[in-house]
Structure 1
């Protein structure tokens, strides 16, 4: 209610007390005040909606021509499925706004995803991971990135170039956003860039990310998924349900490295309401290996 309306209301109440005015003027003024408050509430709600909508698209601004804006705020971590997760390694939550940057271990295991925060200070061109400095295989964008946050949250995994024979080592950064393409890094040949010294504090840890994708996956969307090696990869928890590998397809796991029990960096896609397809690593240049899963009520005798 503005100053003019408040004065009018006081005059109306005074006149009512003196018997000089009926209730109509007062009711009119009160109604006007309510209407003003309603309009103000609507404007505030509209402004709040604008801030929320703007926050989702204004986190990163590009100068010059550049690829589509990258997510700069906290990415949604994998939701905890409604089906009880029984794996040895629990899904790791993303870092908070003021936490040290997630970095993974000093000595990562091949084809294992680790929580990793890509720092904004070097415009996504360099990464410190596994005791080495890496640079983007594509050289990165020449555009300058202005960030609303100090990090991009996601995952980093490492592939040993000796297995690929003709390929160098690579580190791959991924996020929970399906539309965001993976960023491939190669070992940096020269000295570390000075911008890395400006990064926030980093924290190291051996725990795998163990991401399980969202609790409500969208049909046809390929999600980062860390497949447990328990029960010979016959069972998977995805989208709040338990799934079993299709009968007769268990042989697809023969090429898996069973030296350790760490979950395997893979991808899961819901191809129909009753079908999920697991896609897991192969050597560069080779077709991905896949296994088809169907929903089941519980684990059978094949999983001790």
Structure 2
């Protein structure tokens, strides 16, 4: 092993043991790329996930851009029928050749951020919030063949100290309902060398603010980031404006510490009914709110 290789190993080991903070991570990973000069001929396109037991599932890497948002005035007689409700705009996925989306260096709990899992670690490890994570199941349940350099999706995390019994957890989700979420836990041992081979990463504080597809399938549960504006009374989903069927005390049970959207799920249960599922307090079941379509906002959204 040459001096450069040994330096890389020592840097990753220090990061995993907590002796290096978030700042040195980029330098360590960048040095690994320069040392190895990894040759990749990876293009965005379709990849194949081979699951234990022999089943094969096609994975779509090139996700469509989020639905186009209405332009023009948001109030008055010329306002669009279904204005986007919320301070934060949906973030588009990374494109071919772009740096990997990584979220912020200090993510807020229970907020989704755009995140790209790198191909070089076979979905087993993730760098998120300045910490290294590993799959909760060890990654042994699937073998991955890659034709692209990333799997696009979202990452969020939960602080284990709030539940007093569970460790910190992170969850990776995609826009594809047929793909299950992947759970991650903090890495206990040395950081893997494959992190040094990842493409460049970019950080960003903006939440994903995903709204689901324009034409959702009936009964399909989609990642949905619920705005806190209007006390969660209104939602934009499936190209329509919806209002909560009942108040259900939303103004008292929503975490108002910040204005970031809630990492939730939305399901279209009928043509005129949508159900929002969102996290309750630690140790409690998720809350649900039923929505009905409306033509415009009422006076209850100042």
TM range (shorter): 0.7 to 0.9
Contact 1:60/1:147 (CA < 8 Å) preserved in 2? Answer: yes
Q: Secondary structure at the match of 1:197?
A: helix
Q: CA deviation at 1:100?
A: 0.2
Query: What does residue 156 of structure 1 align with?
Result: 155
1:15-26 → structure 2 map (5 Å cutoff): none
From the two aligned structures, give the one with the greater helix fraction. 1
| C-alpha distance in 2 between matches for 1:279 and 1:142 | 28
TM-score w.r.t. structure 2 length? Answer: 0.77
Number of residue pairs the alignment of both structures matches: 248
Greater mean deviation of Cα atoms: 58-67 or 250-259: 58-67
The aligned counterpart of 1:298 is 296
Residues 229 and 121 of structure 1, relative CA distance in 2, 3 Å threshold: same
From the superposition, tell whether residues 265 and 93 of structure 1 become closer, same or farther in structure 2 (CA, over 3 Å): same
Structural mapping, 1:1-304, within 5 Å: 59-60=47-48, 62=50, 65=53, 68-69=56-57, 71=59, 73-80=61-68, 83-141=82-140, 144-247=143-246, 249-283=247-281, 285-304=283-302
Q: Deviations over 1:54-75 (max 9, x none)?
A: x98x622539746643625222
Whole-Å separation in 1 of the counterparts to 2:272 and 2:52: 46
| Aligned-pair CA distance for 1:142 | 5.8
Q: CA RMSD in A?
A: 2.0
Indicate how the Cα distance of structure 1 residues 233 and 143 shifts in structure 2: closer, same or farther if over 3 A, else same: closer
The Cα of 1:286 is off from its aligned counterpart by: 2.8
How far apart are residue 141 of structure 1 and its match? 2.5
Report the Cα offset of residue 273 of structure 1.
Answer: 0.5
Give the SS at the match of 1:121.
Answer: helix
SS of the aligned residue for 2:161 comes to helix
Shift of 1:253: 4.9
CA pair 185-61 structure 1, distance change in 2 beyond 3 A: closer
2-side partners of 1:302 and 1:106: how far apart?
A: 36
Structure 1 pair 109–197 and aligned structure 2 pair: CA distance change class (3 A): same
Unpaired segments ≥5 residues, structure 1: 1-54
Q: Which has the bigger relative contact order, CA under 8 A and spacing at least 6?
A: 2
- Paired residues of 1:66 and 1:141 also in contact (CA < 8 A): no
Structure 1 or 2, whichever has the larger Rg, is 1
Q: Which moved more, 1:156-165 or 1:278-287?
A: 278-287
Which whole-Å CA distance do the structure 2 matches of 1:297 and 1:177 have between them? 29
Three-state SS of the structure 2 residue aligned to 1:250 is: coil
Q: What are the Cα deviations for residues 80-107 of structure 1, in whole angstroms up to 9, with x where unaligned?
A: 3663314210000000011000000000
Structure 2, unaligned runs of 5 or more? 1-43, 71-81
Normalized against structure 1, the TM-score is what?
A: 0.77
Please give the alpha-carbon distance, in whole angstroms, between the structure 2 residues aligned to 1:118 and 1:220.
28
**CA distance in 2: counterparts of 1:105 and 1:66, whole angstroms:** 37
- Deviation, structure 1 residue 164: 1.5
What SS class does the counterpart of residue 177 from structure 1 fall into?
coil
Contact 2:120–2:194 (8 Å) recurs in 1: yes
- SS class of match (1:162): helix
